[in-house]
A and B are shown apart, each in its own frame.
Chain A
């Protein structure tokens, strides 16, 4: 028995190694774009939606012209598992597959962990929705097309204070998570500078019970709970706040822009407002095309959370793909170094707005964020306004 098991195992190993080696070769000219996104772990859901945007963009425009020749674009996705220690090997996988440019990741932590691998390989990376300042700071290969934490935190504080007229806020974030705590930090800074009062609270990883924290918030007299958490917690916070009939606004950041939140809020008495990169309805052609594409494939539908609502990260992924194509066209080469050089001068107007990188870090210049509000009757986002820092 043992021997048979051992033999089967050994045979399987051999087969897998051979299968891994066997790569098909074609005569077509191909340029590879790596998708460095989580498909599992804490950020799996967001990573999948971002990947969908990139894949849709690829479906819309699967080729690129280089030196008068048509190159087929091949997407190479890899799962970084939202884990820092898995990120460098995932990045190395892309390097090994000889990608010319990398898109991603959702979540800044893995981007920072993988940054050196891309740097050593000389491959440019375009951050799609990683909002931490450290991703692009002090390097010349990591670019980013979204806004940053300091910007988003400040925008939200201004919106809460000036537009909603709130004076007391309660913040919730996961401890040790630079995304949550970074936004909380900048929100608190801006909100108190305006004259508001903030109480900060944190919770530990894998918390499910927010009842106590929501009670604390209500007891503290807060008018708004600012909770820029990942989707996993967001859903629980929405449900528990609704079950408590807590009379507060839930204010959050781009991570909450997900159909999971809408599903949780449906039919409940909650006020949820988020800032985000894109508002459905911003570009009718993209919306219609993307929805049709999602609905045409059951796997896509599952990855998008079971329906065809458009997450802002998908729109960002879509734009990131075209930014990469622009850079490839401008570089007129498949060589990563040329593309990296060309990226600095790329200007592109996508569905989420105009994208142009600054000269210091390679961050896109974004001066407004979209604010939207969950409609609990229709389970859709209602557009509220465009909000800048001022």
Chain B
């Protein structure tokens, strides 16, 4: 009986996943431009980055704030390698010369995205060697600093023949369909989910819960922290490449600390330690901040109160409420499944009934 219902719930989960894909295909078919499509694309990008950050913050307990830096590395790598050779002269129009390899090296979209992830991962490895030994908040500030340093180098005009600083990199191939964004994001998230469920994932959680105990059990702290950090940065790099596609230009100025904070808040809203929570929160966050709440910026909704900027005030106040009162976020550290949803609502109904009974008894 029990296994049977489990199987049913599993099927429903899969149907739900397919339905999500169906939504993407439907949006592509019926309203390829407009807010829903744009918000879904951006949501998918942020989902990848939020999940990658959650792997680090939520599952391994490493509080890193370097996400923007790795995204920048990914975005630049993707753009540099995927701009068609013949378009390079015009993109790098202000540079005296191009770096030698740029005359020959061109990658198709998917290999360029993988390269984006790899470069981010290599840098993560190098910076991880010294900083991963640091304790929680020191690690946070050190990775934040790392992101700032990466930004400064990306803006350095001496590297212009490679990075095209100060001009943005443009004219690289972009995904045009929501479905493509969804599939790529889905693959990335699935890989992270598999990693979390593997023995590595269990080791990560052990480290998160108690470093010293984990070490005593024979988990190699340095190795596992590094694996988590490098994997997370790989997908942050891929996410950066996707963001570059989304905004049609790669430029250091858009990868700010504020971007990292935004992603961190998404992770918190979704629940630290819940991958599905991060995904749901990404879409909700983007939809609320850039779609549903936008009308708060128009002066005639509540005269004298709503005007430009009001949306962000309301939005940040809501975030504060979530941080203070709903610390577990949407999902806590649980994953979304129909089974849990059904059980949860049953439990809720039962609780309410109990309460009513208790009242009646009085």
Interface residues of A (CB under 8 A from B): 1-2, 5-6, 9, 16-17, 19-20, 39-40, 78-79, 83-93, 95-96, 109, 112-113, 115-117, 120-121, 133-134, 137-138, 173, 175-178, 180-182, 185, 202, 204-205, 299
In Å, the complex CA distance between A299 and B41 comes to 36
Q: Which residues of B contact A93 (CB under 8 A)?
A: 35, 290-291, 294
Q: Which residues of B contact A20 (CB under 8 A)?
A: 292, 294-295
Q: Which residues of B contact A112 (CB under 8 A)?
A: 168, 170, 248-249
Name the residue in B90, B168, B291, B318 with the highest tally of chain A Cβ atoms < 10 Å from its Cβ.
B168
In Å, the complex CA distance between A185 and B166 comes to 10
Q: Tell whether, in the assembled complex, residue B308 and residue A181 are in contact, meaning their CB atoms are under 8 Å apart.
A: no
Q: Tell whether, in the assembled complex, residue B157 and residue A88 are in contact, meaning their CB atoms are under 8 Å apart.
A: no
Q: Which residues of B contact A117 (CB under 8 A)?
A: 33, 38
Q: Tell whether, in the assembled complex, residue B167 and residue A178 are in contact, meaning their CB atoms are under 8 Å apart.
A: yes
Q: Tell whether, in the assembled complex, residue B33 and residue A109 are in contact, meaning their CB atoms are under 8 Å apart.
A: no
In Å, the complex CA distance between A16 and B286 comes to 15
Nearest B residue (CB) for A112: B249
CB distance from B141 to the nearest CB of A (A): 18
Q: Tell whether, in the assembled complex, residue B247 and residue A87 are in contact, meaning their CB atoms are under 8 Å apart.
A: yes
8 example contacts (A-B, Cβ-Cβ < 8 A) are as follows A40-B309, A40-B312, A85-B254, A91-B38, A92-B34, A92-B35, A95-B33, A116-B248
Nearest B residue (CB) for A83: B254
In Å, the complex CA distance between A91 and B38 comes to 9
CB distance from A92 to the nearest CB of B (A): 4
Known contacts A5-B321, A79-B297; A175/B166 CB under 8 A: yes
In Å, the complex CA distance between A212 and B39 comes to 44
Question: Quick check: is B23 within 8 A (CB to CB) of the other chain?
Answer: no
In Å, the complex CA distance between A111 and B188 comes to 30
Q: Tell whether, in the assembled complex, residue A176 and residue B165 are in contact, meaning their CB atoms are under 8 Å apart.
A: yes
Q: Could you say which of A1, A121, A173 contacts B33, with CB atoms under 8 Å apart?
A: A121
Known contacts A87-B247, A112-B168, A117-B38; A176/B253 CB under 8 A: yes
Q: Tell whether, in the assembled complex, residue A115 and residue B248 are in contact, meaning their CB atoms are under 8 Å apart.
A: yes
Q: How large is the interface on B (under 10, 10 to 19, 20 to 34, 35 or more residues)?
A: 35 or more
In Å, the complex CA distance between A134 and B167 comes to 10
Question: Quick check: is B243 within 8 A (CB to CB) of the other chain?
Answer: yes
Q: Tell whether, in the assembled complex, residue A92 and residue B38 are in contact, meaning their CB atoms are under 8 Å apart.
A: yes
In Å, the complex CA distance between A176 and B90 comes to 18
Q: Which residues of B contact A89 (CB under 8 A)?
A: 35, 38-39, 42, 286, 290-291
- Kindly identify, within residues 17 to 42 of chain B, every residue whose CB is under 8 Å from any CB belonging to chain A: 32-35, 37-39, 41-42
Q: Tell whether, in the assembled complex, residue A181 and residue B157 are in contact, meaning their CB atoms are under 8 Å apart.
A: yes
In Å, the complex CA distance between A370 and B166 comes to 27
Binding stretch for chain A, among B148-156, B205-213, B272-280 = B148-156
Nearest A residue (CB) for B163: A176
Q: Which residues of B contact A181 (CB under 8 A)?
A: 157, 165-167
Q: Tell whether, in the assembled complex, residue A204 and residue B152 are in contact, meaning their CB atoms are under 8 Å apart.
A: yes
Question: Quick check: is B231 within 8 A (CB to CB) of the other chain?
Answer: no
In Å, the complex CA distance between A137 and B90 comes to 10
Question: Quick check: is B180 within 8 A (CB to CB) of the other chain?
Answer: no
Q: Which residues of A contact B232 (CB under 8 A)?
A: none
Q: Which 5 A-B pairs have the closest CB atoms?
A: A176-B155, A181-B166, A92-B38, A84-B254, A175-B155
Known contacts A109-B249, A134-B168, A178-B168; A85/B259 CB under 8 A: yes
Q: Could you say which of B35, B176, B309, B326 contacts A2, with CB atoms under 8 Å apart?
A: B326
Q: Tell whether, in the assembled complex, residue B37 and residue A92 are in contact, meaning their CB atoms are under 8 Å apart.
A: yes
Known contacts A92-B34, A92-B35; A39/B308 CB under 8 A: yes
Q: Tell whether, in the assembled complex, residue A84 and residue B253 are in contact, meaning their CB atoms are under 8 Å apart.
A: yes
Q: Which residues of B contact A19 (CB under 8 A)?
A: 295, 301
Question: Quick check: is B174 within 8 A (CB to CB) of the other chain?
Answer: yes
Known contacts A176-B154, A177-B166; A85/B326 CB under 8 A: no
Q: Which residues of B contact A180 (CB under 8 A)?
A: 166
Q: Tell whether, in the assembled complex, residue B251 and residue A96 are in contact, meaning their CB atoms are under 8 Å apart.
A: no
Q: Which residues of A contact B33 (CB under 8 A)?
A: 92, 95, 117, 120-121
Q: Which residues of A contact B248 (CB under 8 A)?
A: 88, 112-113, 115-116
In Å, the complex CA distance between A245 and B166 comes to 31
Q: Could you say which of A39, A88, A182, A204 contacts B166, with CB atoms under 8 Å apart?
A: A182
Question: Quick check: is B337 within 8 A (CB to CB) of the other chain?
Answer: no
Nearest B residue (CB) for A22: B295
Nearest B residue (CB) for A179: B166
- Kindly identify, within residues 323 to 338 of chain B, every residue whose CB is under 8 Å from any CB belonging to chain A: 325-326
Nearest B residue (CB) for A116: B248
In Å, the complex CA distance between A85 and B38 comes to 11
Known contacts A112-B168, A182-B166, A204-B152; A88/B38 CB under 8 A: yes
In Å, the complex CA distance between A180 and B167 comes to 10
Q: Which residues of B contact A185 (CB under 8 A)?
A: 94
Nearest B residue (CB) for A17: B292
Name the residue in B41, B94, B154, B165 with the highest tally of chain A Cβ atoms < 10 Å from its Cβ.
B94
Q: Which residues of A contact B168 (CB under 8 A)?
A: 109, 112, 134, 178
In Å, the complex CA distance between A341 and B323 comes to 51
In Å, the complex CA distance between A185 and B95 comes to 10
Q: Could you say which of B35, B94, B254, B307 contacts A96, with CB atoms under 8 Å apart?
A: B35
**Per-position contact with A for B255-298: 1 when CB-CB < 8 Å, else 0?**
00001000000000000000000000000001000111111110
In Å, the complex CA distance between A89 and B286 comes to 9
Nearest B residue (CB) for A302: B307
In Å, the complex CA distance between A39 and B90 comes to 31
